[in-house]
Each structure stands twice: as structure tokens, then as C-alpha cells.
Amino acid sequence: MSTIAVDAMGGDSAPKEIVKGAILAKESGVNVILSGDKTLIDTYLGGVNIPVINYPEVISMEDNPARAIRTKKNASILGALNLVKENKADGVFSAGATGGTLVGSISVLGKIKGVLRPAIAAVLPGLDGDTILLDSGSSLDVKPKILLQYAAMGSKLAEILFENDNPKIGLLNNGEEESKGRDLEKSTYKLLKSSNLNFVGNVEGRDFANSKADVFVTDGFTGNIVLKTMEGTAKLQNNLLSNSLKNKLFKPLLIPVKNAMKPAKEKLDPDKTNASYLLGVSGLVTIGHGSSSAEAVKNGILYTHRSAEKGFINKFSNTISELWKKMN
């Protein structure tokens, strides 16, 4: 069975919520190793038998990621990543600072041959099935060639996750016309159009609802805003619906409507959704929300475990290496 290393000090409510989530994951049958301040973690474990490696330092959101990786040799994320490097774990889950996880992963695990920059790929729910958004936060300033690589990596991810041999690739833009967008989008459009990917053209934010594309490609700045906006909108919709149903006029309908809405609500709940993949590094690394609750941490660990059990990283690395040969 696969083992997942967890950055116990990463997240707004670490290590308490992370440890609680790890316990829930263990109860679900997953082997977990925690990396962090052992003395502090043990107080939350309450005697539960989960291995802990002592890496007490924390890379915070305020830290410069590159400097922190160099100076904080005992950072919890580095401990977790080293477990994968040493083949003592099959994947890493972290809800900590994204920059620290990104730079640490490149430093410890390295990049897949040919990859210029890793990307964070979020899997989002849609009416006709899930879609992939990348980059959703790793690189804020990119060149067209980087976005072309993101499209290729997203395509391969969709093939593996969705068992789709020819996923549709869309370039996120402010209009469908080829002339739309900044110089970045215009240049990227030309590269994608001349590639062997199944490029369907520019797509807009509203197209997430109709699954016009299987993979939405954009820079990390735009992608992260899209991701956070969708999460906020989902919460707003759920709250508005709940408040409306509390009206006395609708009270008799409350229970059946709530039951009918439960599957959709769970699909849109950040605590129920999957962690995001860090694509392009030589190892399985997933990233959770900084505000992850114990439930979200558990689901993130379970998702990482399922990916490890399916041999995700080997499939992805092999297909990406083959793709680079064809494209170059």
C-alpha cells in the first residue's frame, strides 16, 4: 500500500487541523507519515500511531521561497519531500505556502526532463464532467512557450484522469476571437493553433459551466483568481439558497430540497474537492487550500493516495517525455 508524506506545519490551522485530517485518513486505511515539529504534533496525535519525522521549521506565506529553502533546512515541507526522494513515501500532500512547496519540490525532486516550469493543475466540477485549470497559482508571469507546455501537460493529465484520448484544450481569454487578449494570449494562440494538440480556441470564464474545453490554460495569476472566484461563488450560492429556504413559506420544502441539492453542494464544497497537482516535478506532489479543515486535509490525502495507487507519476512522466520528443 502507498504511503503519503504530509507537511504537518503547512496551513492556516497547522498543525492541529493537519494532524486531525491525517488521523481521519489513517482511519480510512491510508499509511501516513507526518513531517513537522514532533513535540507539537504529538500533543495533537493523542496516542494515535502515526510516524512523525522531526522537521520543526515552517516556511510561511511571508517568506521568500527560494531564500527559505536555502536557510530553513529543517522545514516541514522539505522533510516530506525527502521521504519521497528516499522512496520512503509515494507522494506528498501540503496545505502550506505554495511558493515553498513549488521551490522545495524542484530543489529536492527535480523537474521532469524538458519541463521549463511546473504548473498547479486544479480539477474542477462541470456539468458534463470535470475540467482541468492550469496554471492555478505557481507562475504569475509566463511566456507563450510556457503556456504551450502547460497545455501539453494538461492534455496528458486529462488523458490519465478522464481516460480521454483527445482532450479539448482551451486558452482562457477575454473573448473567443483570435484577436482578443494581451500579447501573451495572442502569441500563445498561434503556438497552440500550430501544435498537434486538440486546440479549440479561446475560451471565457463562463465556459467552465458548459465544459467547452477539458483543459483551460492560463497564467498562474489569472488562474488563481478564477479558482478563488469560483470557490467564493459556490459558497455564496449555497448560503443564498439556505437562507431562502429558511423562510417560513418554504420551510415544508426545506428537507427534500436540501437532500436533492446535497450532491451538487458537495461537488462545490472546497472541503470535499480534490487537492491540486503540482505538474512537472519528478514526484507526486499535491497542494491543498491554506485554510484546509481536517475534512479537507483527509480528502486531500486520500486523493493523493489514490493517485499513487494508480501509478500516476510514472504514467505522467513517461507520456510527457514522449510528447517533448514529438514537439521538439
| Residue-level pLDDT at 245 | 64
Are residues 136 and 241 located together in one domain of the fold?
yes
Q: Is residue 327 part of a domain?
A: no
pLDDT (average), residues 230-252: 68
Q: Judge whether residue 47 has pLDDT over 70.
A: yes
Distance CA 299, CA 305 (A): 10
Are residues 99 and 128 located together in one domain of the fold?
no
Are residues 15 and 108 located together in one domain of the fold?
yes
Find the range with the poorest average confidence among 13-17, 33-37, 126-130: 126-130
Q: Judge whether residue 1 has pLDDT over 70.
A: yes
Are residues 50 and 136 located together in one domain of the fold?
no
Q: State which amino acid sits at residue 187.
A: S
- Per DSSP, what are the bridge partners of residue 119? 279
Q: Is residue 39 part of a domain?
A: yes
| Residue-level pLDDT at 318 | 74
Q: What percent of the chain has pLDDT above 90?
A: 62
pLDDT (average), residues 225-247: 74
Q: What is the value of pTM for the model shown?
A: 0.89
Q: Is residue 178 part of a domain?
A: yes
- Per DSSP, what are the bridge partners of residue 120? 278
Q: Are strands 131-134 and 119-124 parallel, antiparallel or unpaired?
A: antiparallel
Find the range with the poorest average confidence among 92-106, 191-205, 260-274, 278-292: 260-274
Are residues 137 and 244 located together in one domain of the fold?
yes
Are residues 62 and 183 located together in one domain of the fold?
no
Are residues 190 and 294 located together in one domain of the fold?
no
Are residues 241 and 148 located together in one domain of the fold?
yes
Cis amide prior to 51 (ω within 30 degrees): no
Are residues 137 and 253 located together in one domain of the fold?
yes
Distance CA 88, CA 67 (A): 27
Tell me the CATH number at 78: 3.40.718.10
Question: Confidence band (pLDDT; 50, 70, 90) for 163?
Answer: confident
Q: Is residue 328 part of a domain?
A: no
| Residue-level pLDDT at 310 | 86
Are residues 72 and 167 located together in one domain of the fold?
no
How large is the angle between the packed helices 144-162 and 312-327, nearest 10 degrees?
140
How large is the angle between the packed helices 254-268 and 220-245, nearest 10 degrees?
170
51-65 pLDDT per residue, tens: 999 999 999 989 999
The cell numbers describing 42, all together, are 504529538
| Residue-level pLDDT at 160 | 87
Cis amide prior to 7 (ω within 30 degrees): no
Find the range with the poorest average confidence among 51-55, 278-282, 324-328: 324-328
The cell numbers describing 17, all together, are 487541523
Question: Confidence band (pLDDT; 50, 70, 90) for 246?
Answer: low
| Residue-level pLDDT at 262 | 60
Are residues 143 and 268 located together in one domain of the fold?
yes
| Residue-level pLDDT at 268 | 60
Question: Confidence band (pLDDT; 50, 70, 90) for 229?
Answer: confident
| Residue-level pLDDT at 256 | 66
Element (H, E) at 202: strand 199-203
Q: Judge whether residue 243 has pLDDT over 90.
A: no
Distance CA 186, CA 174 (A): 11
Q: Work out the mean pLDDT of the chain and round it to a whole number.
A: 88
Q: Is residue 316 part of a domain?
A: no
Q: Is residue 322 part of a domain?
A: no
Q: Judge whether residue 72 has pLDDT over 70.
A: yes
Are residues 45 and 62 located together in one domain of the fold?
yes
Cβ neighbours of 53 (radius 10 Å) = 18
Q: Judge whether residue 192 has pLDDT over 90.
A: yes
- Which of the pair, 138 or 26, is modelled with greater confidence? 26
Find the range with the poorest average confidence among 223-227, 228-232, 298-302, 310-314: 228-232
Find the range with the poorest average confidence among 46-55, 146-155, 157-166, 276-285: 157-166
Question: Which of 125-129, 199-203, 265-269 has maximum average pLDDT?
Answer: 199-203
Q: Judge whether residue 82 has pLDDT over 80.
A: yes
Q: Is residue 317 part of a domain?
A: no
What total number of domains does the chain contain?
2
Distance CA 212, CA 34 (A): 40
Find the range with the poorest average confidence among 82-86, 186-190, 254-258: 254-258
| Residue-level pLDDT at 197 | 93
Q: Are 112 and 282 in contact (CB under 8 A)?
A: yes
Question: Confidence band (pLDDT; 50, 70, 90) for 100?
Answer: very high
Q: Is residue 170 part of a domain?
A: yes
Q: Judge whether residue 106 has pLDDT over 70.
A: yes
Could you list the residue range(s) of the whole structural domain that residue 203 is in? 121-272
